[in-house]
Amino acid sequence: MPNRTHTWAPVGETPILREVPGRHNHTCIGFITRTPVRHLLQFRFTTFGGAARFEDFAFLLTDIHYYYRAKVLILWDNLPSHHAVDAYFTEERPDWFEFEYFPAYSPELNPVEFCWNKMKNDYLPNFIPTTDEELIRAVEAAASRINEEKKIMDCFNVASIKP
């Protein structure tokens, strides 16, 4: 869905946003990592076609484990599929992850939510993609801007938590 925001336009020339008919659903899973040596924060994400399922989360966490090769702290919201993945890895691979959760109904504490809001409101306002590939490229570019402009600390500051 396009994120409609107020914009400037010449007097009498109201901008018209034309959405391509059809419903294509993509799910983006975002997370913030901290590098082990230099402790740099980075916003990362991956995109799945359709709604994310248990298998998608399990695949992503397996990739994270193989990337870091150490026990990783996963802090996330209370989505039911998160709990299912937690139970699976706690039973099958207890030495891979430690899982913690934000309190229920508290997106204001989650810095990833602020990254998504920044992407939608600052980098992609009034953006209507015509293809799935255009959508994915634009979201990747917006996420890169968050990292390049070092906006992640702003997301932690708004959430009032320390990384």
pTM: 0.71
pLDDT digits (tens, 9 = 90+) for 103-140: 877 778 888 888 888 888 888 887 878 788 888 899 88
pLDDT of residue 96: 92
| Residue 52 amino acid letter | A
User: 23 pLDDT band (50/70/90 cuts)?
Assistant: low
| Residue 132 amino acid letter | D
Q: Going by C-beta distance under 8 Å and a sequence separation of 6 or more, which residues neighbour residue 105?
A: none
Q: Going by C-beta distance under 8 Å and a sequence separation of 6 or more, which residues neighbour residue 71?
A: 95, 96, 97, 98
Alpha helices in the chain (DSSP H): 54-68, 80-92, 111-118, 132-148, 152-159
Locate the domains of the chain by residue range. Answer: 26-159
pLDDT digits (tens, 9 = 90+) for 136-153: 899 889 988 888 877 777
